[in-house]
Structure 1
Amino acid sequence: MASEWKKAREVLHILKGKGFDSYIVGGAVRDLLLDRKLADIDIVTTATPYEVSTCFLKTYRMNNLHETVIVKYRGEHYEVTTIRGKKLVEDVKYRDLTINSLAMDYEGKLIDFVGGQNDLVHNVLRSIEPYDRMTEDPLRMLRVFRFVSELGFDVDHELMSVITAQHDLLKKVAVERVMKEWIKLLKGKHRNQALRMIKTTLLFKSIPGLMLTEHALEQLAQFRSLTHSSDTLCLTAFCLCLDKVDEPFLRNLALSNEQSKKIRERLTYYEKRNHQRWGWLDLYYASIQVARDVETLRLLGNKESESIDQLQVMWEALPIRHKSELAITGADVIHSLEKPQGPWVKEALTLAEQLVVTGQYRNNKEDLLNTLLERRDEL
């Protein structure tokens, strides 16, 4: 952390040397005071984007509404944004919460115009002019509860009232932005506190894409902590709390195709595990990672679960763990059975896989081809 701050303050010093005021702002200052792991370090400056670009060798302009330049300096990347208004005091008042409105200069002096440090001490989330801050970007209403989930802070009464009255505006926010906040909220140590507030303010009715209900929130609260879980595990746990999850629903969450596939796989095998234990074929087709995630989900959901170590033993005992390890190929099958290419080839290879995985035959080319030859008329 000391190294990160040292480099960031060097960036401030360079800008100062060129005649521009500059400050580290927002989450980095907040997390430094809370002794939390730092995420991105953001900087504001009186320099214009062009002037910033003349101060450093490697920069590129971000394509967004703010005048932001990415500065690469000593292996780190910093978002450097031109101050909104004429002075820092004007800029910080535009920020969502007082605890995110703290700043620090290149000498390490803390600058607090809005009482953010006091709110940190008293564990309170508060906004300056909360109606304006929440309505100019309604995603901030969900961000408030994401911070509740991460920090365990209370929410100022006036801010809670604004969210309760204006939550309908959140429906207009892009699902992609919502999902980033939602995943962070799910992973927070104080998730259930945040879920209760989302229920109290009725915000859950306006979160686009998630199809949340009171029942879903109650089910989600039953899961043990997801703090150290992967995004895939968090989203699968969330989906298990909903009444209906289908392909259109997952598409509407604006997830990548790969992420959607991973969630579908885990949901499928989670459902199978409700009725049976892991067998050789299920484990083979699922993969050890899916099986581990399913059992972790069962454990987090307070259901009986199988030992991860035992699953690993089963996995390592499989004769093959992927179809590419099968001793025969499609070309081998066509040549041996002397039939024209068609869907039957895939069926034959699948049969061979199953015979090997279940231990009925060795993964031996000659044995497998002889077996398929015997069943030629069935394929």
Structure 2
Amino acid sequence: MNAAVSSAFNLLNTVKKSGWDSWIVGGAVRDTLMGKEPADVDIVTSATEADWRKLFGRTVRVGQRYDTFLVFSNGNPFEVTPLKGTRIEDDLALRDFTCNAAAFDAGKALIDPFGAERAVKEKRLSAPGDPERMFQRDMLRLFRMIRFELCLGFTPDNRLDKTFRALAGGFDAAPERVQKELSALRPCVVSSALLELVAERTAFLPEPYHLSPDSLIHKHRFDFPLSELAWSLLFTEGNDRKGRKLGYGRRVRKTVARASKAKLTYPWSDEALYRLGEEAASAAAELLPVNKGPVRVAEQFAQLPIKHRRDLALLGEDIALFPASERKNIVEACEKFVLNGGTNERESLLRYAKERRKKWEQKKH
């Protein structure tokens, strides 16, 4: 038993001495049944947040959902949620999957009304009640089912699988919650076969959410697990609307859009690689067709004479010599000059910049 679980049982017993019941629930119970160390520990309680605050001195509210709050013990945070219903069995009946519908009480006894222990042993995914109602309580559970298939190696039973297929077309959820599930799914995809399973499952979801089977034509280049950027590129294909729907921020969407276009123009010149940036280039390289040969973005980027605009030998006062409307073009011209073999020295760049401006002026007249 790790330190976090021991601390959680101490909390449960302290609360019990004051007249309230509390239980360890969810993933911590499932992980224990699987013989794994729980990553975190969630608690359900019959006491109020005010009661916990009196006992432990401090709580921190987690958003507004279900009045969930954090309590701390020995430096470990524990998420505490009020009991739903009058008994722990009522609360467990509302859980997503049978493997998660068990609890430990303060005496470390397992409360398992729906057969979680057996489900874990059989690596079976099922609902503790009606699967349709279970999914409809939180549609994000459709994505969670995919994650449990991949990350835990569990297999949905026939009833759960049929319900998933029937309801998936109506999926919708807050973008930030979808993005969180996608991020949790990524490190579990460690083979082409598992990536194909993601494509197969998400094909039942509406268009913004599914992984197109077309993307799998490049699978033989994949070095699993994919990076976060390559993963987002695989789902969004550089489409900003899809990126928004999947909860990716503006910076990620812009980087992915560049990477999506760059896939079509490989191999890249030094100037093209510089404009693209190492981050976007690396993501694009992860998804290039195998017939493009070996891709060594890091090596090529390391050999560039400049990696960032700030590497130019020009000073701010040098750029200020030119009209404001021309400064951006001047800097870009100097970057191109250096990337194509020009000397990155202040005097050389100033001379080149003045020559370029002179030519531009001549063209105007």
- TM interval, shorter chain, is 0.7 to 0.9
Deviation readout 1:55-78 (Å, 9 max, x if unpaired)? 222312233241321112222221
- Could you say if the C-alpha distance between residues 75 and 256 of structure 1 is closer, same or farther in structure 2, counting changes exceeding 3 Å? same
Seen in structure 2, the aligned counterparts of structure 1 residues 231 and 39 have a Cα distance that, compared at 3 Å, is farther
The separation in 1 between residues aligned to 2:223 and 2:142, in whole angstroms, is 22
Asked whether 1:233 is paired with 2:214, we answer: no
Q: Does 1:286 align with 2:286?
A: no
Please give the root-mean-square deviation of Cα atoms over the aligned residues, in Å.
2.7
Percent of paired sites with the same residue: 27
Q: Which runs of 5+ in 1 are unaligned?
A: none
- Do residues 370 (structure 1) and 356 (structure 2) align? no
**1:39-89, Cα deviation, whole Å (9 max, x unpaired):** 332111111122122222231223324132111222222111111111111
Q: 5 Å matches for 1:17-166?
A: 17-36=17-36, 38-127=38-127, 128-166=129-167
Code of the aligned partner of 2:59: T
SS at structure 2 position matched to 1:60: strand
Equivalent residue of 2:305, what SS?
Answer: coil
The aligned residue for residue 262 of structure 1 is 255
Contact 1:148–1:194 (8 Å) recurs in 2: no
Q: Distance in 1 between matches of 2:18 and 2:223?
A: 46
Correspondent of 1:193 among 187, 190, 197: 197
How far apart, in 1, do the equivalents of 2:74 and 2:249 lie?
32
Name the CA shift for 1:328/1:72 in 2 (closer, same or farther; >3 Å): same
Partner of 2:13: 13
Which residue in the other structure is 1:355 paired with?
337
Q: 1:247 to 1:193 in 2, by over 3 A?
A: closer
Aligned residue number for residue 295 of structure 1: 285
Secondary structure class of the residue paired with 1:72: strand
**In structure 2, distance between residues paired with 1:222 and 1:319:** 32
Structure-1 separation of matches of 2:284 and 2:162:
40
Judging changes above 3 Å, is the alpha-carbon distance between structure 1 residues 164 and 297 closer, same or farther for their aligned structure 2 residues?
A: closer
2:318 alignment counterpart: 332
**Cα distance change of structure 1 residues 168 and 317 upon mapping to structure 2, 3 Å threshold:** closer
- CA 1:165/1:363 → structure 2, altered by over 3 Å: closer, same or farther? closer
Structure 2 portions without partners, runs of 5+: 361-365
Structure 2 CA distance for aligned equivalents of residues 219 and 104 of structure 1: 44
- Give the C-alpha shift of residue 177 in structure 1: 2.4
Counting matched residue pairs gives: 354
Q: Does the 8 Å CA contact 1:69/1:80 hold for their aligned counterparts?
A: yes
Q: What is the Cα deviation at residue 305 of structure 1?
A: 4.4
1:313 aligns with 2:299: yes
Distance 2:179 2:111 in 1: 32
Describe the shift of the 1:342–1:366 C-alpha distance in structure 2 as closer, same or farther (beyond 3 A): same
With the length of structure 1 as denominator, give the TM-score of the two structures. 0.83
Distance 1:307 1:37 in 2: 39
Contact 1:125 1:153 in 2 (8 A): yes
Q: Does the 8 Å CA contact 1:146/1:184 hold for their aligned counterparts?
A: yes
The verdict on how the C-alpha distance between 1:329 and 1:304 changes in structure 2, with shifts beyond 3 A counting, is: same
In structure 1, C-alpha distance between the alignment counterparts of 2:22 and 2:130, rounded to whole Å: 25
4+ long deviations beyond 6 Å: none
State the one-letter code of the partner of 1:145.
Answer: I
